[in-house]
Structure 1
Amino acid sequence: MEEKKQPEQYRFFSHRQCEYFPCHRTEHPEDFNCLFCYCPLYALGDKCGGNFKYLENGIKDCSQCLLPHRRNSYDYVIGKYPEIMELARRPKNTP
């Protein structure tokens, strides 16, 4: 007997009742993924892979980026976690 594959609903979440929905301009609100509401890739700076720019004051502006909000973005974002974990690693010479 073949085992039935369970749906992977954890990969996509759309919070249409949120007062900020959608938080970025999009032509396809039905595909807007709220799962990564606060982008975990922000800390990667210019290595995030998204559509961002740096402002004159050095702040990263992601207001035009839809990378973490695409319906199929889950694998890309999760694939970047080793880089994020490296940023959070404790320095070798600290207890």
Structure 2
Amino acid sequence: MSEQPKWMGKHYSFFCNKECEYFPCHKTNHPEDFNCLFCYCPLYTLGDKCGGNFRYTESGIKDCTECMLPHKRENYGYIIGKYGEIMEKARKTDEKK
């Protein structure tokens, strides 16, 4: 039997803001499991390597309207696991200055 991730079931890995004027900001059949912790997705900066369901508009803007990746309770570990890539991208951006 595999052990659950350390973060599973912890309060810091899930926050549902049902009082938000935009709740839920994406269509969902399970609003009780809608995670608002990553309201502004930290994976956006990874472009096409984020792993989410996105598209680019005709003007080249990344549109994440149909993406539920950061809002699913079970995806906390996936997002936290991507922080190394986010930091690397930030480092490269800083080096160009």
Give the TM-score taking structure 2 as reference length: 0.86
The aligned length equals: 88
User: More helix by proportion, 1 or 2?
Assistant: 2
Cα distance per residue 1:52-94 (max 9 Å; x no partner): 0011110000000000000111100000001100111131x76
SS at match of 1:72: helix
Select the residue among 74, 79, 91 that pairs with 1:72: 74
AA aligned to 1:70 is K
Partner of 2:44: 42
- Higher-Rg structure is 1
Can you give the 5+ residue segments of structure 1 that lack an aligned partner in the other structure? Answer: none
Give the TM-score taking structure 1 as reference length: 0.87
Select the residue among 11, 14, 19 that pairs with 1:12: 14
Runs (4 or more) in structure 1 with deviation over 2 Å come to none
AA aligned to 2:36 is C
AA aligned to 2:66 is Q
Question: In 2, Cα distance between the equivalents of 1:17 and 1:23?
Answer: 12
